[in-house]
Structure 1
C-alpha cells in the first residue's frame, strides 16, 4: 500500500526534487504551494509516470493560520516534509515588522501548528516521520540574514524537542540543514559571487536539490528507524 506524504513548499527547487524522489519510491503526495500554481501543476504532470496520486494544494503560509487552508484536503498523512520558505537579505535594522512576521509565519508558526494538527492521526497509528528542511544558518547564524537564521534556528530547536516528545509513540522528527544549494533562493547572486561562494566550500561546489532530496528520503525511510531529533548537515563541509 502506498504511503501518503505532505510536502510543503513543493513548488520550489528543493520541494520539487523531494517530490520526484518520493514519487519514485512509491509515495502518494500532497503538494503544497502558495503563489506558484503553474509550477505545482507542472510538477504533478512530471510525476504522473510513477502512477501515484499527486494533489496540489494552495495555502498562504505568510499569513497567521494559513496552514488551516490545507487541512480539509489532507487524508491519512504518513509523512511530512516541511520545505517551504523564503530568505530575507539585508541589515537587521532595516527589517520591517511585516516582513519579520511573514518570515516567522512561513518558517516557524504555520509548520509548527500544521504539525500539531497532524499529530493525533499519527498517534493513532503509532508511526510516522516528519522532516524539516532547515538551514546551515540555523546552526551557525549569518550576517545580513539574522531573522532568517533565527527562524531556522527555531525550526532546529523544535525538531530536537518534538523528536524527544514523540519518540515513545513511534513518530520520528528530524531536520536537514543544507548549505548553499542551486535553487532560486540564490538566483540573485552574480556568477562571480557564486564562484566565490563555491570556493569557500571544501567540496568546491554548491549542493544540488537532488542531494537534499536523497537525505530527506533516507530520513523518512525505515533505514533511519532509530534516528530522531537529529539535524543532518548536507553542506559539502562548509562551516562544520
Structure 2
C-alpha cells in the first residue's frame, strides 16, 4: 500500500532532500512552503516525472493557523491524510535579545513551534484512525543547550523538544511515534550566513571535522519514518559529536 508523507519547509535544504528521498521510494508526497511557489511547483513536477509518484505542492504559511487549516483542507480533498508528518519548516534570528522586537520574536516562535501544533492537530485524526503514524520534528542542538545571540531560536527549539516528548507519551498507546532530530551544523541555506573563517572555526569545533549534509538528515528522517516502532519521545542528536 502506498503511503503518504507531508513535509513542511520543503523548498530547500533538509526538507527538499527529504522530499526527493520519499519520492524516490514511491511515496505520495505533499510538499509545503510559504514562498518560492514557482520553484516548488517545478520541483514537485520534476519529482513526479522522475519517480512516477504523486507529488503535490502546497503554498501556505503554516505559522498562521488559518492557513494551516486551509492546507489540510487541500490535502483532504486528495488524500485521507498523511501517514508521516515531517515538521521541518523553520527560521532563525541572530542578534542580541534586547535589540529584538516583538514581531521578530513572534515570527520565530510561530514558524518554529506553533506550526507544530497546527499541523499535528490536523494530522493526528487520520493516524488515530489507522492506529499507526510517525511524526518527525526537526529541532536543533540549540534546543538542548541554547546559543548566545539566538535566544528566540533556542527557545523555539527547546519548545519543539518538550512538545515532542509530551506528544509522544500522549500518542504511544495509539501506536503513533513522535521523535525529533536535533541537528548540529547542517550545510543548508540557513547556515550560509557565516564567513569562510567562521565556517572553518566551526568545523574545527566539530569532532567529525565537517558539517552534516541535508542528504544525511533526510536519510535519518526516512529511517524514522519507516521503522523503529518502539522508539518514541526521543531527541536524536545529529551533530558529528559536537554537542
Cα shift at 1:8: 0.4
Aligned to 2:202: 197
Any unmatched runs of 5+ in structure 2?
none
Please list every run of at least 4 consecutive aligned residues from structure 1 whose deviation after the TM superposition is greater than 2 angstroms: 61-66
Cα distance change, pair 89–217 in 1 and its aligned pair in 2 (3 A): same
TM-score when scaled to structure 1? 0.96
Q: Which moved more, 1:38-47 or 1:164-173?
A: 38-47
Q: Deviations over 1:100-131 (max 9, x none)?
A: 11111111112212201221111111001000
User: How far, CA to CA, are the matches of 1:167 and 1:17 in structure 2?
Assistant: 28
Cα distance change, pair 19–27 in 1 and its aligned pair in 2 (3 A): same
Q: Any idea what SS the aligned residue of 1:134 has?
A: strand
Aligned to 2:27: 27
Q: Deviations over 1:137-189 (max 9, x none)?
A: 10110000001000000001000010011000011101101100111101221
Q: Deviations over 1:188-224 (max 9, x none)?
A: 21111111111110000001000100110011112x1
Say if 1:34 and 1:59, in contact at 8 Å, map to a contact too.
Answer: yes
Q: Any idea what SS the aligned residue of 2:237 has?
A: strand
Equivalent residue pairs, number: 238
Q: Any idea what SS the aligned residue of 2:90 has?
A: coil
Say if 1:64 and 1:105, in contact at 8 Å, map to a contact too.
Answer: no
Aligned to 1:165: 170
Cα shift at 1:84: 0.5
Q: Deviations over 1:40-77 (max 9, x none)?
A: 12321331311110000011134353312311111221
Aligned to 1:120: 125
Q: Any idea what SS the aligned residue of 1:173 has?
A: strand
Give the aligned CA root-mean-square deviation in angstroms: 1.2
Any unmatched runs of 5+ in structure 1?
none
